[in-house]
Amino acid sequence: MSEYKTILVHYDAGRTAPTRLDIALEIGAKFDAHVACLYALSAMPMPSLSHEAADIVREVQQRAGAEMLSNARSGYDGCLRRSGYAKAEWRTSSRDALDAVALHARYADLVVIGQKNEEWASGVSKNFERNVLLAAGRPVLVVPYAFERRPLGRQVLVAWNASYEAAHAVSGALPLLKQAGHVHVIAFNPDESGVAHGQEPGADVGLFLTRHGVKVTVSRHDAQDVDVGNQLLSRAFDVSADLIVMGAWGHSRLQELVLGGVTRTILESMTVPVLMAH
């Protein structure tokens, strides 16, 4: 992927939605890309009630939904005024948020979503970001609900384990990597990952990136006393990374999401935006 032409950003009823839209607009401005802002919430099940009570609950939900939509649109308009970026559009969907994002993602190069905070109501389901990673079929940039806001993509940390998912993430992040001030590729405990790394772990992906004009350094880290997810966050802090790129391993079985431990740790504890791909 040489550059992004269409960026899809999910907008919900949470307080951090404007931040992820700001980041999507920032990326859009880098590549003169079209930014599609999609407002969609997760479907709320209707409790078992009498006909009269159900009508009252439905009316309350409709009023609350209309108010959340109005607030979201105001937030979107404010973001566009602040950014001054004009190549953006507002979309709404009555479909469940996951289905809506998965559908619109088919026609985008990059999807931007937010990390869920259990203490803040946002109108999306508990495992929304994890399910999007599996359903989108596109690289997904997950924006933390709390982090130090900096320009995106100046110092990038790539977690490399020579997997399909990691390769997909690097490919999806390539437009940002090519514009980065520096990219730090790190292979954690590569001897445990088998022969896919080659004779020198990280050397092949480093050469691949160099051929694309990316300024890159490659290192390996062997440590068994701390889990890789926390090692990755610690390394991101050490290099002042403003973006992490990594593969997301997982699958859905009987509608129960199973993700690798590293992916779960990052989704729960991320300190900078993370670009993932499955």
pTM: 0.90
Residue 255: the pLDDT is: 36
Check whether residue 176 and residue 125 sit in a common domain.
no
Query: Is residue 41 within 8 Å of 14, Cβ to Cβ?
Result: no
Question: CATH number, domain at 44?
Answer: 3.40.50.620
Residue 15: the pLDDT is: 93
Select from 84, 112, 143 the last residue of a domain.
Answer: 143
Check whether residue 137 and residue 10 sit in a common domain.
yes
Which residue pairs, CB below 8 angstroms and at least 24 apart, start in 193-200?
193/161, 193/162, 193/163, 196/162, 196/163, 197/162, 198/162
- Residue 50 burial (CB < 10 Å; 0-12/13-18/19+)? exposed
Residue 60: the pLDDT is: 64
**243-247/88-92 β-pairing:** unpaired
Check whether residue 118 and residue 20 sit in a common domain.
yes
How far apart, in whole angstroms, are the C-alpha atoms of residue 117 and residue 3? 31
Q: What is the CA radius of gyration of the chain?
A: 20
Check whether residue 202 and residue 265 sit in a common domain.
yes
Select from 83, 114, 143 the last residue of a domain.
Answer: 143
CA neighbor of 4 nearest in space, from 37, 29, 22, 38? 29
Check whether residue 90 and residue 168 sit in a common domain.
no
Residue 262: the pLDDT is: 83
Check whether residue 177 and residue 260 sit in a common domain.
yes
**256-259/216-221 β-pairing:** unpaired
Check whether residue 257 and residue 189 sit in a common domain.
yes
Sheet holding 140-143, edge to edge: 88-92, 34-39, 6-11, 110-114, 140-143, 274-277, 243-247, 155-159, 182-188, 216-221
Check whether residue 173 and residue 268 sit in a common domain.
yes
How far apart, in whole angstroms, are the C-alpha atoms of residue 137 and residue 134? 7
Select from 81, 109, 143 the last residue of a domain.
Answer: 143
Check whether residue 178 and residue 56 sit in a common domain.
no
How far apart, in whole angstroms, are the C-alpha atoms of residue 35 and residue 5? 9
N- to C-terminal Cα separation, the chain:
16
How far apart, in whole angstroms, are the C-alpha atoms of residue 84 and residue 26? 10
Using alpha carbons only, give the angle 100, 102, 105 rounded to the nearest 5 degrees.
105
Number of domains in the chain: 2
Structure-block tokens of residue 12: 């919900």
Check whether residue 35 and residue 92 sit in a common domain.
yes
Would 20 be classed as within a structural domain?
Answer: yes
State the number of CA atoms in the 13 A half-sphere of 12 facing the CB.
27
Residue 258: the pLDDT is: 45
Check whether residue 17 and residue 77 sit in a common domain.
yes
pLDDT profile of the chain (278 residues), mean per 10: 92 95 98 98 68 62 85 97 96 96 98 91 89 94 94 96 92 97 90 68 91 96 77 94 88 44 88 95
Check whether residue 50 and residue 164 sit in a common domain.
no
Residue 49: the pLDDT is: 57
Domain that holds residue 121: 6-143
